[in-house]
Protein backbone atom coordinates (compact mmCIF):
# COMPACT_ATOMS: atom_id res chain seq x y z
CA UNK A 1 0.00 0.00 0.00
CA UNK A 2 1.36 3.41 -0.93
CA UNK A 3 0.80 6.68 0.87
CA UNK A 4 1.51 10.06 -0.60
CA UNK A 5 3.13 12.71 1.60
CA UNK A 6 3.70 16.31 0.66
CA UNK A 7 6.54 18.23 2.19
CA UNK A 8 8.03 21.66 1.74
CA UNK A 9 11.73 22.39 1.44
CA UNK A 10 13.19 25.84 0.78
CA UNK A 11 9.84 27.05 -0.36
CA UNK A 12 9.50 24.42 -3.05
CA UNK A 13 6.88 21.73 -2.71
CA UNK A 14 8.17 18.20 -2.97
CA UNK A 15 6.01 15.16 -3.20
CA UNK A 16 7.46 12.00 -1.86
CA UNK A 17 5.99 8.54 -1.95
CA UNK A 18 6.51 6.42 1.15
CA UNK A 19 5.61 2.80 1.70
CA UNK A 20 4.48 1.57 5.12
CA UNK A 21 7.05 -0.15 7.31
CA UNK A 22 6.37 -3.60 8.74
CA UNK A 23 5.86 -2.96 12.50
CA UNK A 24 7.24 -6.42 13.29
CA UNK A 25 10.53 -5.56 11.62
CA UNK A 26 11.12 -2.21 13.27
CA UNK A 27 12.55 -4.05 16.29
CA UNK A 28 16.34 -4.31 16.11
CA UNK A 29 16.54 -7.94 17.23
CA UNK A 30 13.71 -9.23 15.02
CA UNK A 31 15.17 -7.39 12.03
CA UNK A 32 18.62 -8.84 12.79
CA UNK A 33 17.22 -12.38 13.02
CA UNK A 34 15.35 -11.96 9.73
CA UNK A 35 18.47 -10.53 8.03
CA UNK A 36 20.57 -13.49 9.21
CA UNK A 37 17.96 -15.98 8.03
CA UNK A 38 17.55 -14.25 4.68
CA UNK A 39 21.32 -14.57 4.17
CA UNK A 40 21.59 -18.15 5.43
CA UNK A 41 18.11 -19.57 4.77
CA UNK A 42 18.34 -21.87 7.80
CA UNK A 43 20.25 -21.44 11.05
CA UNK A 44 20.40 -22.85 14.53
CA UNK A 45 19.19 -20.84 17.53
CA UNK A 46 22.76 -20.87 18.92
CA UNK A 47 24.05 -19.32 15.70
CA UNK A 48 21.43 -16.52 15.89
CA UNK A 49 22.27 -15.94 19.56
CA UNK A 50 26.00 -15.68 18.84
CA UNK A 51 25.58 -13.34 15.89
CA UNK A 52 23.06 -11.00 17.54
CA UNK A 53 24.58 -11.08 21.03
CA UNK A 54 21.04 -11.35 22.45
CA UNK A 55 20.11 -13.27 25.58
CA UNK A 56 18.41 -16.63 25.11
CA UNK A 57 15.22 -15.37 26.77
CA UNK A 58 14.89 -12.25 24.63
CA UNK A 59 15.78 -14.11 21.45
CA UNK A 60 13.20 -16.83 22.22
CA UNK A 61 10.47 -14.22 22.62
CA UNK A 62 11.35 -12.49 19.33
CA UNK A 63 11.71 -15.77 17.45
CA UNK A 64 8.27 -16.77 18.73
CA UNK A 65 6.80 -13.47 17.44
CA UNK A 66 8.32 -14.03 13.99
CA UNK A 67 7.01 -17.58 14.02
CA UNK A 68 3.49 -16.44 15.00
CA UNK A 69 3.54 -13.99 12.08
CA UNK A 70 4.46 -16.85 9.75
CA UNK A 71 7.80 -15.22 8.83
CA UNK A 72 9.91 -18.13 10.06
CA UNK A 73 9.43 -21.80 10.88
CA UNK A 74 10.99 -23.31 13.98
CA UNK A 75 11.95 -26.95 14.22
CA UNK A 76 13.02 -28.61 17.44
CA UNK A 77 15.14 -31.73 17.25
CA UNK A 78 18.15 -33.40 18.84
CA UNK A 79 21.77 -33.16 17.80
CA UNK A 80 23.44 -36.05 19.54
CA UNK A 81 22.14 -35.81 23.10
CA UNK A 82 21.47 -32.09 22.99
CA UNK A 83 18.25 -30.33 21.99
CA UNK A 84 18.55 -28.25 18.85
CA UNK A 85 16.30 -25.47 17.57
CA UNK A 86 16.54 -24.65 13.89
CA UNK A 87 14.95 -21.55 12.38
CA UNK A 88 14.14 -21.21 8.71
CA UNK A 89 12.74 -18.24 6.83
CA UNK A 90 9.40 -18.89 5.08
CA UNK A 91 8.24 -17.56 1.71
CA UNK A 92 5.95 -15.15 3.59
CA UNK A 93 8.99 -14.04 5.60
CA UNK A 94 11.04 -13.39 2.47
CA UNK A 95 8.16 -11.35 0.96
CA UNK A 96 7.71 -9.36 4.17
CA UNK A 97 11.44 -8.67 4.42
CA UNK A 98 11.65 -7.53 0.80
CA UNK A 99 8.65 -5.20 1.24
CA UNK A 100 10.19 -3.80 4.43
CA UNK A 101 13.49 -3.08 2.67
CA UNK A 102 11.65 -1.44 -0.23
CA UNK A 103 9.77 0.70 2.28
CA UNK A 104 13.02 1.66 4.04
CA UNK A 105 14.53 2.64 0.70
CA UNK A 106 11.50 4.79 -0.10
CA UNK A 107 12.12 6.78 3.09
CA UNK A 108 15.83 7.11 2.54
CA UNK A 109 15.52 7.92 -1.18
CA UNK A 110 12.03 9.39 -1.49
CA UNK A 111 10.68 9.47 -5.02
CA UNK A 112 9.93 12.99 -6.23
CA UNK B 1 20.32 -5.49 20.70
CA UNK B 2 16.84 -4.72 21.97
CA UNK B 3 15.96 -1.35 20.48
CA UNK B 4 12.40 -0.92 19.21
CA UNK B 5 11.23 1.51 16.52
CA UNK B 6 14.51 1.82 14.68
CA UNK B 7 14.94 4.72 12.30
CA UNK B 8 15.23 3.91 8.61
CA UNK B 9 18.99 4.45 8.65
CA UNK B 10 19.41 2.28 11.76
CA UNK B 11 17.33 -0.48 10.13
CA UNK B 12 19.45 -0.45 7.00
CA UNK B 13 22.59 -0.57 9.15
CA UNK B 14 21.31 -3.63 11.09
CA UNK B 15 20.52 -5.42 7.81
CA UNK B 16 23.91 -4.54 6.35
CA UNK B 17 25.76 -5.69 9.50
CA UNK B 18 23.90 -9.00 9.79
CA UNK B 19 24.21 -9.92 6.12
CA UNK B 20 27.89 -9.02 6.13
CA UNK B 21 28.38 -11.08 9.32
CA UNK B 22 26.70 -14.15 7.85
CA UNK B 23 28.55 -13.92 4.56
CA UNK B 24 31.00 -16.74 4.54
CA UNK B 25 33.05 -18.58 2.02
CA UNK B 26 31.57 -21.87 0.92
CA UNK B 27 33.00 -24.36 3.40
CA UNK B 28 34.12 -26.99 0.90
CA UNK B 29 37.08 -28.81 2.40
CA UNK B 30 37.83 -30.90 -0.68
CA UNK B 31 37.40 -34.07 1.37
CA UNK B 32 35.08 -35.88 -1.03
CA UNK B 33 37.16 -34.98 -4.08
CA UNK B 34 40.24 -36.42 -2.38
CA UNK B 35 38.47 -39.50 -1.03
CA UNK B 36 36.82 -40.49 -4.30
CA UNK B 37 39.78 -39.36 -6.39
CA UNK B 38 42.18 -41.61 -4.48
CA UNK B 39 39.73 -44.56 -4.50
CA UNK B 40 39.05 -44.28 -8.25
CA UNK B 41 42.77 -44.04 -9.05
CA UNK B 42 43.52 -47.02 -6.79
CA UNK B 43 40.76 -49.12 -8.39
CA UNK B 44 41.81 -48.17 -11.94
CA UNK B 45 45.48 -48.93 -11.30
CA UNK B 46 44.72 -52.25 -9.58
CA UNK B 47 42.53 -53.28 -12.53
CA UNK B 48 45.27 -52.18 -14.97
CA UNK B 49 47.77 -54.33 -13.07
CA UNK B 50 45.36 -57.30 -13.11
CA UNK B 51 44.79 -56.94 -16.88
CA UNK B 52 48.55 -56.81 -17.40
CA UNK B 53 48.77 -60.06 -15.40
CA UNK B 54 46.35 -61.69 -17.82
CA UNK B 55 43.08 -61.34 -15.93
CA UNK B 56 39.93 -60.84 -18.05
CA UNK B 57 36.52 -59.27 -17.30
CA UNK B 58 36.65 -60.64 -13.73
CA UNK B 59 39.07 -57.78 -12.99
CA UNK B 60 36.02 -55.46 -13.13
CA UNK B 61 35.12 -56.66 -9.63
CA UNK B 62 37.82 -54.35 -8.26
CA UNK B 63 35.33 -51.48 -8.78
CA UNK B 64 32.93 -53.06 -6.31
CA UNK B 65 35.49 -52.50 -3.55
CA UNK B 66 35.43 -48.74 -4.21
CA UNK B 67 31.91 -47.95 -2.87
CA UNK B 68 32.29 -50.56 -0.13
CA UNK B 69 35.26 -48.60 1.22
CA UNK B 70 34.17 -45.10 0.16
CA UNK B 71 30.49 -44.90 1.09
CA UNK B 72 30.87 -45.61 4.86
CA UNK B 73 33.77 -43.14 5.11
CA UNK B 74 31.80 -40.47 3.20
CA UNK B 75 28.65 -41.01 5.29
CA UNK B 76 30.52 -40.80 8.61
CA UNK B 77 32.35 -37.66 7.44
CA UNK B 78 29.07 -35.99 6.34
CA UNK B 79 27.33 -36.86 9.60
CA UNK B 80 30.16 -35.33 11.60
CA UNK B 81 30.29 -32.25 9.37
CA UNK B 82 26.54 -31.65 9.63
CA UNK B 83 26.76 -31.98 13.40
CA UNK B 84 29.27 -29.12 13.44
CA UNK B 85 27.41 -26.86 11.00
CA UNK B 86 25.12 -24.32 12.63
CA UNK B 87 23.87 -22.78 9.45
CA UNK B 88 22.69 -23.99 6.07
CA UNK B 89 22.55 -21.80 3.00
CA UNK B 90 20.77 -22.22 -0.33
CA UNK B 91 24.14 -23.13 -1.84
CA UNK B 92 24.58 -26.00 0.64
CA UNK B 93 21.25 -27.43 -0.51
CA UNK B 94 22.00 -26.96 -4.21
CA UNK B 95 25.44 -28.52 -3.81
CA UNK B 96 24.09 -31.54 -1.93
CA UNK B 97 21.29 -32.01 -4.48
CA UNK B 98 23.76 -31.86 -7.37
CA UNK B 99 25.87 -34.69 -5.95
CA UNK B 100 22.80 -36.74 -4.98
CA UNK B 101 21.63 -36.47 -8.59
CA UNK B 102 25.12 -37.40 -9.75
CA UNK B 103 25.05 -40.52 -7.57
CA UNK B 104 21.70 -41.62 -9.00
CA UNK B 105 22.85 -40.99 -12.60
CA UNK B 106 26.04 -42.94 -11.88
CA UNK B 107 24.06 -45.91 -10.57
CA UNK B 108 21.97 -45.85 -13.77
CA UNK B 109 24.76 -45.32 -16.30
CA UNK B 110 26.85 -48.29 -15.18
CA UNK B 111 24.19 -51.05 -15.54
CA UNK B 112 22.64 -49.45 -18.65
CA UNK B 113 26.05 -49.28 -20.39
CA UNK B 114 26.92 -52.83 -19.40
CA UNK B 115 23.56 -54.10 -20.68
CA UNK B 116 24.21 -52.27 -23.95
CA UNK B 117 27.66 -53.87 -24.01
CA UNK B 118 29.49 -50.55 -24.15
CA UNK B 119 32.27 -49.30 -21.90
CA UNK B 120 30.70 -47.00 -19.27
CA UNK B 121 33.90 -45.05 -18.60
CA UNK B 122 33.51 -42.33 -21.30
CA UNK B 123 29.93 -41.67 -20.18
CA UNK B 124 31.04 -41.57 -16.56
CA UNK B 125 33.75 -39.06 -17.47
CA UNK B 126 31.19 -36.80 -19.16
CA UNK B 127 28.88 -37.03 -16.14
CA UNK B 128 31.71 -36.45 -13.64
CA UNK B 129 32.81 -33.46 -15.74
CA UNK B 130 29.33 -31.94 -15.55
CA UNK B 131 29.02 -32.35 -11.76
CA UNK B 132 32.57 -31.06 -11.22
CA UNK B 133 31.99 -28.06 -13.51
CA UNK B 134 28.81 -27.02 -11.66
CA UNK B 135 30.56 -27.60 -8.32
CA UNK B 136 33.32 -25.27 -9.45
CA UNK B 137 30.71 -22.59 -10.10
CA UNK B 138 28.96 -23.14 -6.75
CA UNK B 139 32.12 -23.06 -4.62
CA UNK B 140 33.67 -20.41 -6.88
CA UNK B 141 36.78 -22.45 -7.52
CA UNK B 142 38.24 -22.34 -11.03
CA UNK B 143 40.53 -25.42 -10.64
CA UNK B 144 37.40 -27.58 -10.40
CA UNK B 145 36.13 -26.16 -13.69
CA UNK B 146 39.53 -26.86 -15.26
CA UNK B 147 39.31 -30.38 -13.84
CA UNK B 148 35.89 -30.78 -15.48
CA UNK B 149 37.39 -29.84 -18.84
CA UNK B 150 40.10 -32.49 -18.28
CA UNK B 151 37.33 -35.09 -17.74
CA UNK B 152 35.56 -34.06 -20.95
CA UNK B 153 38.78 -34.13 -23.01
CA UNK B 154 39.60 -37.58 -21.60
CA UNK B 155 36.08 -38.77 -22.52
CA UNK B 156 36.72 -37.80 -26.16
CA UNK B 157 40.27 -39.24 -26.16
CA UNK B 158 38.92 -42.52 -24.81
CA UNK B 159 37.45 -43.21 -28.29
CA UNK B 160 40.99 -43.98 -29.43
CA UNK B 161 42.19 -45.84 -26.35
CA UNK B 162 42.03 -49.54 -25.57
CA UNK B 163 40.55 -50.72 -22.27
CA UNK B 164 43.83 -51.05 -20.35
CA UNK B 165 45.16 -47.69 -21.59
CA UNK B 166 41.77 -46.18 -20.86
CA UNK B 167 42.28 -47.07 -17.21
CA UNK B 168 45.57 -45.14 -17.17
CA UNK B 169 43.92 -42.17 -18.88
CA UNK B 170 41.07 -42.37 -16.36
CA UNK B 171 43.56 -42.34 -13.46
CA UNK B 172 45.37 -39.32 -14.89
CA UNK B 173 42.07 -37.47 -15.46
CA UNK B 174 40.88 -38.18 -11.91
CA UNK B 175 44.24 -37.07 -10.53
CA UNK B 176 44.02 -33.75 -12.40
CA UNK B 177 40.26 -33.32 -12.05
CA UNK B 178 39.71 -34.45 -8.45
CA UNK B 179 42.92 -34.92 -6.48
CA UNK B 180 44.71 -31.71 -7.50
CA UNK B 181 41.64 -29.43 -7.01
CA UNK B 182 40.83 -31.40 -3.84
CA UNK B 183 44.27 -30.62 -2.38
CA UNK B 184 43.92 -26.97 -3.40
CA UNK B 185 40.43 -26.78 -1.84
CA UNK B 186 41.80 -28.33 1.34
CA UNK B 187 44.53 -25.70 1.48
CA UNK B 188 41.99 -22.90 0.94
CA UNK B 189 39.65 -24.37 3.55
CA UNK B 190 42.42 -24.60 6.14
CA UNK B 191 43.53 -21.04 5.43
CA UNK B 192 39.95 -19.72 5.74
CA UNK B 193 39.04 -21.65 8.86
CA UNK B 194 42.40 -20.88 10.50
CA UNK B 195 43.18 -24.56 11.11
Per residue in B18-73, pLDDT (tens digit) is 887 776 655 678 899 999 999 999 999 999 999 999 888 888 888 888 889 999 99
User: How far is A64 from B36, CA to CA, in rounded Å?
Assistant: 44
Confidence label for A16 from pLDDT (cuts 50, 70 and 90): low
Rg (CA), chain B: 21
What's CA B10's distance to the chain center, in Å? Answer: 43
Shortest Cα distance from B73 to chain A (angstroms)? 19
CATH of the domain at A85: 1.10.10.10
> How many beta-carbon pairs under 8 angstroms link A with B?
85
Please state the rounded mean pLDDT for residues A31-57: 91
Q: What is the mean pLDDT of chain A?
A: 83
Confidence label for A10 from pLDDT (cuts 50, 70 and 90): very low
The confidence score (pLDDT) of residue B27 equals 67
Rg (CA), chain A: 18
Question: Ramachandran region of residue B30, left (φ > 0), alpha (ψ -120 to 50) or beta?
Answer: left
Confidence label for B79 from pLDDT (cuts 50, 70 and 90): confident
User: How far is A51 from A93, CA to CA, in rounded Å?
Assistant: 20
B14, B23, B86: residue with CB nearest A31: B14
The answer to whether A101 contacts chain B (CB < 8 Å) is yes
The confidence score (pLDDT) of residue A100 equals 93
How many C-beta atoms lie closer than 10 Å to residue A65's C-beta? 16
Q: Classify residue B113 as exposed, middle or buried by CB count within 10 Å of its CB (0-12, 13-18, 19+).
A: middle
- Among A5-19, B12-26, B73-87, B173-187, name the one with the lowest average pLDDT: A5-19
The verdict on residue A11 lying in a domain is no
The answer to whether B113 contacts chain A (CB < 8 Å) is no
CB pair distance less than 8 Å for B87 and A47: yes
For B118, phi then psi, to 5°, come to -125, 155
Per residue in B12-32, is it b (16+ CB within 10 Å) or e — as a string? bebbeebeeebeeebbbbbbb
The confidence score (pLDDT) of residue A90 equals 95
H-helix segments, A44-90: 45-52, 56-68
Inform me whether the pLDDT recorded for B172 exceeds 90.
yes
Start-to-end CA distance of chain B, whole Å, equals 31
Determine which of B23, B86, B88 to mutate to test the interface with A (most A C-beta atoms within 10 Å).
B86
SS3 A13: strand
The confidence score (pLDDT) of residue A13 equals 44
The confidence score (pLDDT) of residue A21 equals 87
The verdict on residue A75 lying in a domain is yes
For A95, phi then psi, to 5°, come to -60, -45
Q: What is the pLDDT of residues A60-92, one digit of tens each?
A: 999 999 999 999 999 998 877 788 899 999 999
Residues 62-91 (B) with a CB less than 8 A from some CB of A: 83, 86-90
Inform me whether the pLDDT recorded for B175 exceeds 50.
yes
The confidence score (pLDDT) of residue A1 equals 39
Confidence label for A9 from pLDDT (cuts 50, 70 and 90): very low
A21, A46, A79: residue with CB nearest B83: A79
**ipTM (interface pTM):** 0.77
The range of the structural domain enclosing residue A62 comes to 22-102
Inform me whether the pLDDT recorded for B103 exceeds 50.
yes
CB pair distance less than 8 Å for B11 and A25: yes
Question: Ramachandran region of residue A70, left (φ > 0), alpha (ψ -120 to 50) or beta?
Answer: left
The confidence score (pLDDT) of residue A87 equals 95
The answer to whether A47 contacts chain B (CB < 8 Å) is yes
Q: Which residues of A touch B96 (CB under 8 A)?
A: none
CB pair distance less than 8 Å for B21 and A51: yes
**B131 or B4: which leads in pLDDT:** B131
CB pair distance less than 8 Å for B10 and A28: yes
User: How far is B15 from A52, CA to CA, in rounded Å?
Assistant: 11
Please state the rounded mean pLDDT for residues A48-52: 91
Shortest Cα distance from B64 to chain A (angstroms)? 32
B2, B22, B90: residue with CB nearest A58: B2
User: How far is B169 from B156, CA to CA, in rounded Å?
Assistant: 11
The verdict on residue A6 lying in a domain is no
Confidence label for A12 from pLDDT (cuts 50, 70 and 90): very low
Please state the rounded mean pLDDT for residues B152-181: 92
The verdict on residue A71 lying in a domain is yes
Shortest Cα distance from B142 to chain A (angstroms)? 24
The confidence score (pLDDT) of residue B121 equals 85
User: How far is B77 from B70, CA to CA, in rounded Å?
Assistant: 11
Domain edges within chain B: 27-180
Element (H, E) at B189: helix B180-193
Q: What is the pLDDT of residues B84-99, one digit of tens each?
A: 778 888 888 888 899 9
User: How far is A106 from A98, CA to CA, in rounded Å?
Assistant: 12
* Number of domains making up chain A: 1
The verdict on residue A16 lying in a domain is no
B8, B89, B90: residue with CB nearest A107: B8
User: How far is A104 from B149, CA to CA, in rounded Å?
Assistant: 46
Amino acid sequence: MWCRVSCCASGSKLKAVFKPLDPLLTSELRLAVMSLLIAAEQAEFVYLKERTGATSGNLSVQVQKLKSAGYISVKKSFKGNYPQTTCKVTTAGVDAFEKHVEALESYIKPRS
Amino acid sequence: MDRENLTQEESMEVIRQMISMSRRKFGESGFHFLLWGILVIAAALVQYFLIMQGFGPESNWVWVAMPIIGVPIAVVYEMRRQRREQVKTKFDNIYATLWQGFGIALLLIIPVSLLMRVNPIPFLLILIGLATFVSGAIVRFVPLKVGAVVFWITAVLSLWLKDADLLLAYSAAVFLGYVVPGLMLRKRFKAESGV
